Structure 1
C-alpha cells in the first residue's frame, strides 16, 4: 500500500486492496485494510481428525475428494476498498 501511495495511486479510489486473515495490523494502517477472516485453527482440526480417521480405517474416501467440508469465512469491508465505486462511503 505504501508503494501504491508513493506512485500516486489512490486507495480505494483508483484501486482496492484486500488483505488476508484479519491481521491486527489491518486496523492500524491507513486506510484500514479490507480483509478476510478464515477459520485456520478449525481447518487444522478438521484436517487432523480426517487424517486420523483415515489412517485408523474409520473413514473411506476422505483423502480422495469424495467428501466436502464447508467452513465459514468472512470478508470484512474497511476503508481500503469500496463496495460500490459510485458510492464513495468507506466500509
Structure 2
C-alpha cells in the first residue's frame, strides 16, 4: 500500500459545510475501520476552509475514488481538491499514539 494526501478546499459557507459534516464523518469512520484512512481533519484559519485526508491505499485511482464518493464531494461542499502521493519520513510513531 502507499500513502496519498487528499487535500480539500471547501465552499465558503460554514452552515452548508456543517449541515453535511455528520454524513462526511460517518463516511470517514468507515474508511478508518477498513484501514484505508490513516488520519483526517480540517485546516485551521486563516485561509481557505478545507481539510486533509491521508489514505493508505493501493493507488491514486483508489484515493480519487474515495474522494469521489465522499458525501462532502457529492453534496457540493468541496470546491476544489487534489490527490497527491505522500511519504511519511519523520515520526511515524506519532500516528499510532492515542
Query: TM class, shorter-chain normalised?
Result: under 0.3
Higher RCO by CA contacts (8 Å cutoff, separation 6 or greater): 2
TM-score, length of structure 1 as denominator length: 0.27
More helix, by proportion: 2
User: Of Structure 1 and Structure 2, which has the larger fraction of its residues in strand?
Assistant: 2
